[in-house]
């Protein structure tokens, strides 16, 4: 059964996969493949979403963590600062049009991001899940999601769903159904359909009620 915090896991997996693509594109560019440049450019929007996500965690997730494990949240906040620095290094290398430095910076960003997400998945969220009730969990995810500017939400849907596997898409859609009023979910359903294109029928088979 889907639970609200599963949405966090979905975003973590999407971050990993998108960053892996950015890193691969950076390496390809360093090796002389000019066709890799458009894929490399995804790092900017990836980082925008990452910042919104981090702001939500710092607003509501880490304070909950502090209640259960004092002093544990601070290293995760420092990780967020480290990710900011990794992004700035990558962005500077891209602006300088230096393929080798871009490849190095992308690899460092990917390493730091993956390590941070792995720690959150193995420590932060399991701990919170053991000490939080469903209404609080809804509020946590609602706060994190609320960090996304409303006018940018369609871009986020278009970004995340193609990066998820079929089970993750189903789970995230069920979380949206759980958290959103029907009239709001109706609009999001259309965004998901657009994001998935030809893969939409598979989601409908899994969740027939989204067919409309």
Instruction: Say yes or no: 87 and 23 in one domain.
Output: yes
Neighbours of 89 (CB within 10 A): 17
Domain that holds residue 168: 150-212
- The answer to whether the CB of 40 falls within 8 A of the CB of 101 is no
Among the candidates 102, 130, 148, a domain finishes at: 148
Instruction: Say yes or no: 185 and 161 in one domain.
Output: yes
Which pLDDT score, from 0 to 100, does residue 2 have?
82
User: Of 182, 184, 91, nearest to 145 (Cα)?
Assistant: 184
User: Of 158, 163, 147, nearest to 50 (Cα)?
Assistant: 147
Which pLDDT score, from 0 to 100, does residue 68 have?
87
Instruction: Say yes or no: 6 and 48 in one domain.
Output: yes
Residues of the chain scoring pLDDT < 50: none
Among the candidates 128, 148, 168, a domain finishes at: 148
Instruction: Say yes or no: 108 and 178 in one domain.
Output: no
Instruction: Say yes or no: 82 and 171 in one domain.
Output: no
Which pLDDT score, from 0 to 100, does residue 1 have?
76
User: For 19-37, what is each residue's pLDDT tens digit?
Assistant: 999 999 999 999 999 999 9
CATH no. for residue 12? Answer: 1.20.120.520
Domain count within the chain: 2
Instruction: Say yes or no: 137 and 174 in one domain.
Output: no
User: For 145-188, what is each residue's pLDDT tens digit?
Assistant: 999 999 999 999 999 999 999 999 999 999 999 999 999 999 99
User: Of 199, 117, 159, 174, nearest to 21 (Cα)?
Assistant: 159
User: Which pTM was predicted?
Assistant: 0.96
């Amino acid at each position: 059964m889907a639970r609200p915090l599963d949405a966090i896991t979905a975003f973590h997996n999407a971050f990993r996969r998108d960053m892996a693509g950015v890193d691969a594109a950076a390496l390809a560019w360093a090796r002389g493949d000019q066709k890799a440049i458009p894929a490399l450019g995804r790092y900017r929007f990836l980082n925008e979403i990452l910042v919104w996500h981090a702001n939500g965690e710092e607003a509501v997730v880490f304070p909950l963590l502090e209640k259960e494990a004092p002093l544990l949240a601070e290293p995760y906040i420092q990780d967020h600062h480290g990710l900011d620095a990794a992004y700035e290094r990558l962005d500077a290398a891209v602006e300088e049009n230096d393929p080798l430095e871009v490849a190095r910076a992308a690899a460092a960003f990917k390493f730091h991001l993956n390590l941070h997400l792995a720690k959150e998945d193995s420590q932060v969220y399991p701990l919170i899940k053991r000490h939080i009730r469903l209404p609080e969990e809804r509020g946590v995810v609602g706060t994190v999601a609320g960090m996304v500017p409303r006018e940018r939400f369609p871009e986020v849907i278009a970004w995340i769903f193609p990066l998820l596997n079929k089970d993750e898409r189903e789970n995230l859609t069920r979380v949206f159904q759980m958290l959103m009023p029907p009239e709001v979910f109706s609009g999001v359903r259309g965004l998901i359909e657009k994001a998935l294109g030809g893969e939409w029928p598979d989601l409908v088979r899994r969740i027939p009620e989204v067919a409309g």
